[in-house]
Amino acid sequence: MTPRSKNSDNLAGQGDLTTSGERSKLHKVTINDIARLASVSKKTVSRVINESPLVREETRDKVKAIIKEYGYIPDPQARALAFRRSFLIGMIYDNPSPQYVVNMQRGILDALQDTNFQLVLHPCERGDPQVHEKIERFVSQQRPFGVILSPSISEDDALCAKLAGYECAYVRIASVEFDAPHQNIRTYDTEGAAEAARHLAEIGHTRIAHVHGIKSFRSAHERLEGFRKGLKEHGLSLPKKYIVEGAYNFDTGVSCTQKLLQLKEPPTAIFLGNDEMAVGAYQAARKAGLKIPDDISIVGFDDTPMAARVWPPMTTVRLPIREMGAAAAKVLLSFDGDERPKERITFLPQIVIRESTAAPKRLD
């Protein structure tokens, strides 16, 4: 048996060493050797080799210097395996509001600045019978580092179970709690809607209507429940005739408001489930010859940029969508390290009072 070289033992242990060329001849340097010599984990060395952005610059330089000194050459097959995930962050959404989607994208991009990660989008239809298969195809083709799920697709437990089976990391944004704290950004839509109800009741409205979103969206139920709660605190109810289902888009904002205004006793105030439907309500009110807020008060939800740009500027419930997107992306990036948040990140909506609401005229 050929005796082992003392220098070979030193490299595998704690000793030092001859020239790098002599070392490489005496002992094939492994990724474990590099990790030990750099006092980092094997995973960190792998990240450095694969140019992952999730390594501090100081650590990256140290590992690269040791790799160069010891002449380490990564195993091509192992490196290919490390690339089974790309530096892509996927955003999967089925929200019909373009402004919501744009704001969410901006937030995610804010968090991805100064990293090597890129954002890739996948719109879907939750009601599509093949939605899971299409998302599976997206994940298998793009091989994202992870995905962010916005409402309402974020409420699909079966989809999340499949993503976990694909070993695809995900963070969902939803109005209720799902999964572990590091996989769920929670929004308190119920409380935001209650704030809208309180505001309208406090300025004197009693005939108040609500246009909610699509029934398959959990947010629609949360906002309806919260609105009822806020009205109840002021001794008011929400009659069935004053509840209409919209689809979170401009056209249904128009049609649902028209339906409410045709009632024998039309409401003096309407709370709509998002700003886009609320802008539709503006058009319906003007077509009916009504002035806002003199004849009817209108409240939206989300506080998208359009809310401050319409005339009169819209009272709405602010849900910080851009900040939510940024938070979700930051949490997702933490999945490749040991700094996952231990507590759930939450966002509490707040009402922003502008000029689309005022005390009602005296009712006959």
88-188+322-349: same fold as 6-82?
A: no
Calculate what percentage of the chain has a pLDDT beyond 70.
86
pLDDT at 249: 92
Query: What residues contact 38, with CB distance under 8 A and at least 6 apart?
Result: 44, 45, 59, 62, 63, 66
Instruction: Report H helices in the chain.
Output: 6-12, 20-26, 31-38, 42-49, 57-70, 76-82, 98-112, 131-142, 157-165, 189-202, 218-232, 250-261, 275-287, 305-309, 321-333
CATH topology of domain 6-82: 434 Repressor (Amino-terminal Domain) (1.10.260)
Lowest-pLDDT choice from 50-59, 102-111, 333-342, 355-364: 333-342
Domain map of the chain by residue range?
6-82, 88-188+322-349, 190-318
Per the omega criterion (within 30 degrees of 0), is the bond before 312 cis? yes
pLDDT at 276: 94
Q: Is residue 45 predicted with pLDDT exceeding 70?
A: yes
**Concatenated DSSP letters of 25-53:** HHS---HHHHHHHHTS-HHHHHHHHTT-S
pLDDT at 233: 97
13 vs 200, more confident: 200
**Segment 109-116 mean pLDDT:** 90
pLDDT at 252: 97
pLDDT at 278: 97
Calculate the alpha carbon distances from 234 to 157, 200, 257 in Å: 36, 10, 24
Give the separation between CA 301 and CA 304, rounded to whole angstroms. Answer: 8
Number of Cβ within a 10 Å radius of residue 80: 10
Under the banding of pLDDT at 50, 70 and 90, the label for residue 337 is low
297 vs 305, more confident: 297
Asked whether the beta carbons of 191 and 222 are under 8 A apart, the reply is no
Radius of gyration for the chain, computed over Cα atoms and rounded to the nearest angstrom: 28
Q: Is residue 224 predicted with pLDDT exceeding 70?
A: yes
Lowest-pLDDT choice from 58-62, 201-205, 207-211: 58-62
Calculate what percentage of the chain has a pLDDT beyond 90.
52
Under the banding of pLDDT at 50, 70 and 90, the label for residue 150 is very high
CATH class in words for 190-318: alpha beta
pLDDT digits (tens, 9 = 90+) for 157-196: 999 998 888 888 899 998 887 877 778 899 999 999 999 9
140 vs 105, more confident: 105
Which CATH superfamily includes the segment(s) 88-188+322-349?
Response regulator (3.40.50.2300)
Mean residue pLDDT across the chain? 85
